[in-house]
Structure 1
Amino acid sequence: MRSGDALAPSGCESRGVNENRTSPPPSQVISPQRPLRVLLTTDWWEPVVNGVVASVQTLRRELIALGCDVRVLTLSQGLRSRNEEGVYRLGSVSASMVYDRARIGMPTARRVLRDVLDWRPDVVHSQAEFSTYVWARRIARTLSIPLVHTYHTIYEDYTHYYSPSRTMGRKVVETFSRRVLSRTDAVIVPTQKVSRLLTGYGVLRPLHVIPTGLDLERFRPARTEEEHADARALRASLGIEPGRKVLLSVSRLAKEKNLDEVLDMVAVADREDTVLVLVGDGPYRPELEARAASLGITDRVRFTGVVAPADIPRWYRMGDVFVGASLSETQGLTFIEAMACGLPLLCRRDPSLASVVVEGVTGWQFEGAAQFTSHLSALLDDPIRREQMSRAALDRALDTCDAKEFGRGVLRVYQEARGVRAPVIARREPVAA
């Protein structure tokens, strides 16, 4: 989920599109009384690395820059609940048997709930549909404030975790999603692909398409000789000889990321001058290692294992082409990060990437081994063209993936939700989870 689109408003350039109505411009954040108080709730937070964590961290930073007072409610990595630097951590237990590194929040944390209610947020913005969503809904109902929700994950692509039947799994997801979102005041989605999906589920809440922005100061090409030397050192640490081209993938190693297909494509292309580097780790790594061995390409594949979030831009900078075959992305955030670091893209065709991959300009989408091999050769055998596509990828990221616009778009949703909700005197319920 680290997690997750002909230039329709389904990618980064679509800014705060509301399919059901036109959003008013954001009102002044800082009132004469106090800043707007926003509570972000998420089941995923540091030290986990995925697309949800990246999105929530970016949103938090941008809302603070806009003058909001922002706090986060998330799950602890253990049984103890605590509050640290504006982050409430609820005690939780492992749910790794269901999904790697997932956790379930404990039902009672009276002190945390009391602290949140005393702080009195103006908006609750939930980022997950499970443990912390229950808390988000409870807090919003108790204080009679808007509940905004971002739908990050296409769960029907994860049916292999909970259902032997994809058809039955999709029905479960449809019913579950419709029920959860019916209790919100507004729903934010990263692409038109997800918006169409939820409309098909029968979701009737206001849908706002707001792509996650990117910190373009952090995700950028190497600028200094020191950064270029660092990229060379990373290659050397993996035993990659000078002159070989690096096909890079940054992803959680899970079945739904479809990295089997990437290995298949690399085997069919059969280029001895390339090395595939899979940055990340996950439960599917043994299967991928076995597949690489069965394809006879073990010497052309490198697994980095877990990478610290702060180091991820370094790995992008050591690549030549970014590759992927996932069909479970809601936005394809890693593809956008790669573009911002100047990497052309070569990825499996998917609607969520339609505005990210401009065919023949920032990269290509492929269907089948023949297209993959042809496009890869076009990139690797023509250095001038690869350099042109690298600059085009960087320019597109700079033009369309501004984190500041992401923050402003979400703020507009908050202001609209507050304006629509009729003023009600908040009620205080007994402090219990």
Structure 2
Amino acid sequence: MRSGDAIAGTGWEPRGVNANTKHPDPPATTSGRPLRVLLTTDWWEPVVNGVVASVQTLRRELLALGCDVRVLTLSQGLRTRNEEGVYRLGSVSASMVYDRARIGMPSGRRVLREILRWSPDVVHSQAEFSTYVWARRIARTLSVPLVHTYHTIYEDYTHYYSPSRTMGRKVVESFSRRVLSRTDAVIVPTAKVARLLTGYRVDRPLHVIPTGLDLERFRPARTAGEHADARALRAGLGIRPEQRVLLSVSRLAKEKNLDEVLEMMALADREDTVLVLVGEGPYRGALEARAAALGITDRVCFTGVVAPADIPRWYRMGDVFVGASLSETQGLTFIEAMSSGLPLLCRRDPSLASVVVEGVTGWQFESPAQFTTRLNALLDDPRGREQMSRAALDRARITCDAQEFGRSVLSVYQQARGRREPLIVRHEPVPA
């Protein structure tokens, strides 16, 4: 869904950016200096996930549009530091709640002073916890808009924090409504998330803006060297040349529903296929045990941790991208796979409606029988699979343009600034 598209059949339409919205002029303030944007996020390198990918893409595109952009995030340790426009606040591990999560320390006064002196024109928060507190304080102190991107459907993560799914949902609804009520605008990646927030009674302007993708980085193998590299990756995992690779790129966590992918693999019973799970996570041991119980250990490969820069290489070695997650807000890995020329085979989910065009870029399944039928159709028809591969590339170019992503977000900033009356900057006292 492009920014501004209405949700068919619901009467819901995002407010703010619409199909007739003109793209913003090169960003500048009344003083003529570049627009200053502070992005705040609890997740940043070296962590690899959809939030990090989205924020990095946005930062790059805003810089290309002429903005002055800085990032406020959490350090991987207690030390607070500043490196090339990225402020890292000291933090402690919260991995007992969620793998690799961290909680910011109530320090960093020097960082706060530096940011207030820099004086951003817009604060754009990308997380609802530690750095959101900072984002809200900075925006309130400087009387500038606070824009927020809602990345995560927390209802799908209730198993981490609540024994009751019903109670967990009520907590999420109340928490989300309270956090978002303090913002000037909310960006969501898909209509699915917009509907969810509308159901939570969030009354802030909502903008549906899919995250863009670097289509030069995520693309099929072009050179002899890239084809050789793909073959080498396969050989390194013991995959024979005649075998087909079903690929999944994901954090190995319970909410990704990879158990179901393993079960589908076993039921499909195709000896000529190998499932490659790219990624690491706390659920790996359970998945390895499940593969053993299903008798498919010889046809399931776990790569472990993969450096972010190497992920495109792994997409290029696959034949079909598979997934069964129902916790996606946009499904960035599905889009990356599509941009790499892989047909998609995934569990039906509204968040993938604009990605998976049935019979064109891939298939969505709802039962083991459908999975097997669609998999057989993909693997037994090389010409049809090649057609889907080309269609996937075309679809990616249409729906996932990174430049369009940056321009649409910039338009939200300018609208949010336009809705605010000129205010006198009020700096709260900052302890020495």
Q: In the aligned structure 2, how far is the partner of 1:432 from the partner of 1:331?
A: 41
Aligned in 2, Cα 1:66/1:377: closer, same or farther, shift over 3 Å? same
The residue aligned with 1:365 is 364
Residue 313 (structure 1) aligns with: 312
Match of 1:198 in 2: 197
Asked whether the 8 Å contact 1:189–1:209 carries over to 2, the reply is yes
* Paired-residue identity, %: 83
Q: Deviations over 1:245-299 (max 9, x none)?
A: 0000000000000000000000000000000000000000000000000000000
Query: What does residue 19 of structure 1 align with?
Result: 15
What does residue 321 of structure 2 align with?
Answer: 322
CA shift in 2, pair 1:184/1:75, >3 Å: same
- TM-score under structure 2 normalisation? 0.96
- Residue 245 of structure 1 is matched in structure 2 by 244
Correspondence for 1:171:
170
Aligned pair in 2 of structure 1 residues 348, 98: CA closer, same or farther (>3 Å)? Answer: same
1:383 aligns to 2:379 (yes or no): no
| AA in 2 matched with 1:121 | P
Give the match for residue 42 of structure 1.
41
Q: Which residue of 2 aligns with 1:95?
A: 94
Structure 2 unpaired stretches of 5+: 8-12
Unaligned runs of 5+ in 1: 12-16
Q: Where does 1:326-337 land on structure 2 (aligned, <5 Å)?
A: 326-337=325-336
Deviations 1:307-366 (A, max 9, x none): 000000000000000000000000000000000000000000000001100000000000
Deviations 1:51-99 (A, max 9, x none): 0000000000000000000000000000010111000000000000000
Instruction: Give distance in 2, aligned partners of 1:310 and 1:10.
Output: 36
Contact 1:46/1:53, CA 8 A, preserved across alignment: yes
Aligned length: 423
Structure 1 pair 147/301, CA: closer, same or farther in 2 (3 Å)? same
AA in 1 matched with 2:15: E
Aligned partner of residue 410 in structure 2, secondary structure? helix
Kept in 2: contact 1:78–1:92 (CA 8 A): yes
Contact 1:249 1:277 in 2 (8 A): yes
Shift of 1:30: 3.4
User: 2:10 — aligned with what?
Assistant: none
Question: Which structure has the higher relative contact order (CA within 8 Å, separation 6+)?
Answer: 1
Corresponding residue for residue 207 of structure 1 = 206
Partner residue, 2:342: 343
Query: How far apart are residue 27 of structure 1 and its match?
Result: 3.7
Tell me the residue number matched to 2:269: 270
Separation in 1 of the partners of 2:142 and 2:228? 54
CA distance in 1, matches of 2:430, 2:81: 17
Contact 2:26/2:65 (CA < 8 Å) preserved in 1? no
Q: Which residue of the partner structure matches residue 67 of structure 2?
A: 68
Give, in angstroms, the shift of residue 33 of structure 1. Answer: 2.5
How far does the alpha carbon of each residue in 1:192-215 deviate from its partner, in whole angstroms, 9 at most, with x for none? 000000000010000000000000
Displacement after TM superposition at 1:28 (Å)? 3.3
Query: Is the 1:10–1:209 Cα contact (8 Å) retained in structure 2?
Result: no
Query: Aligned residue for 1:401?
Result: 400
Q: Secondary structure at the match of 1:304?
A: strand
Match of 1:186 in 2: 185
Which stretches of structure 1, 4 residues or longer, exceed 6 Å deviation after superposition?
none
Distance 1:178 1:142 in 2: 22
RMSD, aligned CA: 1.6
Contact 2:6 2:14 in 1 (8 A): no
Equivalent in the alignment of 2:140: 141
Distance 1:372 1:143 in 2: 53
Closer, same or farther: CA 280–10 of 1 in aligned 2, 3 Å: farther
